[in-house]
Structure 1
């Protein structure tokens, strides 16, 4: 049986609800940049390590707002099984990229496993998203890895950002989509043509992964000693497909049943050579296709579940986690309304808005984004520390 249909039509109420939710979330991110991230920007130059910790936590806590609204407003059910991701160890997370919203629902997975993962997860995503006012700026502050999907352009960025993670003294888990793009109709057709040219099997539920970027990241993380585990995440949508952020915004469409399964691999157990690593990834994706084929073969939506390993666990949203999610999401909602009131009540806030836009747009024009200023400041701080240490010795 094939995957469920993509949602293309919704009612007026759904459209209004989706637009309000998305606008409110983006407005919260923009105002958060104005009233939190801009005022604490001097800390980046005074004490980079403290700034890094503060930003990681603030943005991690804020992620409970959009992820919480998805569950509370739409009633989306998230089923999470597998092995718990350890937030105290550096790791690479790889996942099939069925829709543009996989990363959004993934935050709901992290809450169920360990809310602290929201503060330590980093994402590799399309470079154009960094220019989104508010949300893109915050992702830059959070040291997300923006890529152009061209290895020639991205390789140096990957190296510098992994060095930054490793030298921060903090443990992050980097989320990577090896397929390079979501499985939309256009990408699926390109994958079919590619499979025909290479004599490969055309997959129905995944795209053939791009091995070059994956092997390069593994090699770099090994080089700097910044990888303990690799987590393979499989995502499946039982009832419907909402392909893009615009479907959520304009149609108010949202899947009601999302399934995740996580499997852990010791980094030391993976092949050493790039060629063997590439084969390992291709074989993993072949098995992922088989798992998804079994998932969608069940005609009854309620019976669709990803197969689990014998030692896998089910991560439910218990009362404690639901209380944390609702409390934190409510806090950010109230704070956003307070920011809105302050902004419209005092004309002086226009100066802060102008400063915020100047800081973040200026950083993008001059350095490529706030994240690269942070990389430079951290490198300078390490150099200064090394010089002082050598002088003392």
Structure 2
């Protein structure tokens, strides 16, 4: 959960340093109930804005959310290790290889005594020009509608995750989340770093679906996701048809707009102050304290060894938990 508390900082800095305004409305995500969150993947920064949105809705969600990511991200020194420590799920996007990994980690979540909300991007990647062209060719080849605002979702992994969580008795709700941008769309971390700008107006809509309302049959469940994405395309078409200053999603029947209370705002500032101070202390120690560089090198060596031997610290944990 310590990593979950840390994610509050980068999300908040997007607002306080770069001026991003994140708005979230709709149904409350219950941090005490296991669930699957599905969201369209417009940019590679969606998850960063989403941390800010979750903190507005309920700060505890930052500690209970788990993200399904591309497997290559686990190899990033430092950041990849931190995500592994938080038991994020890294997949190779080849179902025959990912199936056993999903089964093991979902069962681990179900048995460890904590309820998590797992974020899945059914599109498999962000809507960059290359992915958009691949989706267009896929639609053309299979006689499908060519989407303008989303990519065609991949259903195999979605169906497997839902059915596996059902079998483990570890899912109460599915949350359908839609992201849209009121101004410019900054596609990736590279664009963000090179130009020093980010989207200033980010919108999220959350719809809660009881798991009992989803089909039990695999094929019908896959078609349910396809239909959901078709509706999401129309929702986004309507969203982007408005002038930038007027863009917003409709609220759900029982939903509301979420803003931070004074207490939550103070908590956020305290978290930022804590991690900023911690970073400065570590930096001072690295530069001024003897053997700190050696300690850091040993730590990196341990993480690399665990990565090589067990494919990540999360899998070592799972093996120790259920040998």
TM-score where L is the length of structure 1: 0.81
Alignment of 1:1-393 (within 5 A): 56=1, 58-299=2-243, 301-380=244-323
Distance 2:252 2:210 in 1: 16
- Report the counterpart of residue 388 of structure 1 in structure 2: none
Distance 1:319 1:184 in 2: 38
Once the two structures are TM-superposed, the CA of residue 247 in structure 1 deviates from its matched residue by 1.3
Q: Which runs of 5+ in 2 are unaligned?
A: none
Distance 2:295 2:194 in 1: 30
Distance 1:282 1:308 in 2: 22
Which structure: larger Rg? 1
Q: Which runs of 5+ in 1 are unaligned?
A: 1-55, 381-393
Higher helix share: 1
Distance 2:195 2:310 in 1: 36
Once the two structures are TM-superposed, the CA of residue 167 in structure 1 deviates from its matched residue by 0.9
Distance 1:319 1:240 in 2: 30
Question: Conserved in 2, the CA contact under 8 Å of 1:291 and 1:307?
Answer: no
TM-score where L is the length of structure 2: 0.98
Distance 1:309 1:105 in 2: 21
Once the two structures are TM-superposed, the CA of residue 321 in structure 1 deviates from its matched residue by 2.0
Once the two structures are TM-superposed, the CA of residue 284 in structure 1 deviates from its matched residue by 0.5
Question: Conserved in 1, the CA contact under 8 Å of 2:21 and 2:202?
Answer: yes
Question: Conserved in 1, the CA contact under 8 Å of 2:27 and 2:252?
Answer: no
Question: Conserved in 1, the CA contact under 8 Å of 2:159 and 2:222?
Answer: yes
